[in-house]
Amino acid sequence: MFSSRDLMKRVGQNGRLVAFCKAVGVYFLVGSGGAPSLQTAVLKCAPVLFLVACVGLGGRGEYARRVAVGLALSCVGDALLVWPACFVGGMCAFGGAHVAYLAAFGWRPLRAGVALLIYACTLLYLRTLSPPPGLRVLLPAYALLLATMAWRGAARAGSQRPGALLFLLSDAILGYSLFGGDVPYKQLDTSGLPVTRRAIKTVRNQ
């Protein structure tokens, strides 16, 4: 399990995550909850960009490179979601990120029981949503792709498992707040937690 002690140890060893920690602080102090603007998008994406640099510049193995691609696409998705009119584009960018994570996780071990549980929960969840006509195909397709990513992340032993499940949970909360019903404290930004955890795990392995 990853802990705050692990984070401080990693920061203290080589300082690669110092810029990331500062960017997170600046975002929550200045940019979180701001009106749609280029400044808000930059502040929101800055922490993930630093994670991309930490993971990508390490250059150790295909896993790290594929995670870096996923992080970069997640960053694009975060930027697009700042503007409500770009929701579909943001969803597509996050879909591309999940494909990159799938490439990193691989397909062994299969763990069919995990797949059955996650897909069943996803289908039940989709029944609670009422998306507009333009999203009635795209939203279930994205949800099934996200569920597949969560399955593959959960199927492998390792610290990427909680990150994959967190991604599924955070997107489920966001989706329900948009197309299902009201969610208390939905203004809190939790979408960065899964990608942060996955990136720090990759940095630790470099």
pTM given for the model: 0.81
Express each pLDDT in 153-188 by its tens digit: 999 887 778 888 888 998 999 899 999 988 765 544
Residues 203, 54: contact at Cβ < 8 Å? Answer: yes
DSSP 154-196: HHSSSTHHHHHHHHHHHHHHHHHHHHT---TTTTS--THHHHH
C-beta of residue 203 within 8 angstroms of C-beta of residue 55: yes
Residues 6+ apart with CB under 8 A from 111: 151, 154, 155
What pLDDT, on a 0 to 100 scale, did the predictor assign at position 83?
94
Specify the DSSP class assigned to residue 6.
H
pLDDT in tens, 27-58: 666 656 668 899 888 888 888 888 888 887 76
CB 47 within 8 A of CB 20: yes
- Please tell me the least confidently modeled range out of 74-78, 94-98, 142-146: 74-78
Confidence band, pLDDT 50/70/90 cuts, at residue 118: very high
Ranges of each domain in the chain: 4-204
Residue partners of 38: CB distance under 8 A and separation at least 6: none
Among 113-127, 144-158, 179-193, top mean pLDDT goes to: 113-127
Number of Cβ atoms within 10 Å of the Cβ of 100: 20
Rg of the chain over Cα atoms, rounded to whole angstroms, equals: 17
Amino acid (one-letter) located at 89: G
2 and 197 Cβ atoms separated by less than 8 Å: yes
